[in-house]
Amino acid sequence: MSDLVAQYISRMLDESDGNAEIQRNELASLLGCVPSQINYVITSRFTPEQGYIVESRRGGGGYIRITRVTTDRRVAIMHIVNSVGDKISSAAAQTILSNMAAQNMISQYDHALISSALSDKAYSCIQQLQRDQLRAAVMKNMLMTLIVLDR
């Protein structure tokens, strides 16, 4: 159901030049789900890290407005580098990389290569906390290299 909701919202964004205004209850009724499912999809798949701005207004005439932010690729990658922090799990790194590939910020080749370098398998001989810290440092360095090489 989450995929269906995300696809519907993405289609709305595509058809309206990157801006969509939805009424949560109406969309839930249209798609045959509960309104909280709409909230879940928006908070998990339409985040600033994924290139979206979400505004909402509550009340009878309330709405949720989603705007796809189009920024320079280098700026977007630098934003991701700055948002990674001192440690990152394998799952979180893979999610970020998948979103970057879906938004054509990185090629499928770069996605596969970086995913391999950040996988738990690559760090299996290291303790978990240190693994997540090393993964964050490697991820940042690899993304910075993409910016420098303009790949």
Question: What does the domain layout of the chain look like in residue ranges?
Answer: 2-68, 73-149
Q: Where are the beta strands (DSSP E) in 60-139?
A: 63-68
pLDDT beyond 80 at 151? no
Q: What is the pTM of this model?
A: 0.59
Angstrom CA distances, 43 to 6, 54, 105, stand at 11, 9, 21
Percent of the chain with pLDDT over 70: 95
b (16+ CB within 10 A) / e for 102-128: eeebbeeebbeebbeebebebbeeeee
Percent of the chain with pLDDT over 90: 42
Residues 74-90: pLDDT tens digits? 888 888 898 899 999 99
94 vs 85: CA distance, rounded Å: 15
127 vs 34: CA distance, rounded Å: 41
- Count CA atoms closer than 13 A to 111's CA, side-chain side: 15
Q: What is the mean pLDDT of residues 15-34?
A: 89
Using the Cα atoms of residue 105, residue 111, residue 115 and residue 117 in order, give the sign of their dihedral: negative
Look up residue 55 and give its amino acid.
Answer: E
Residues 32-51: pLDDT tens digits? 998 888 888 988 888 876 77
**H/E run at residue 135:** helix 128-149
Residues 79-126: pLDDT tens digits? 889 889 999 999 999 999 998 898 888 999 999 999 999 999 999 999
Tell me yes or no: is domain 2-68 CATH 3.20.20.80: no
pLDDT beyond 80 at 67? yes
pLDDT beyond 90 at 57? no
CA neighbor of 28 nearest in space, from 44, 20, 17, 40: 40
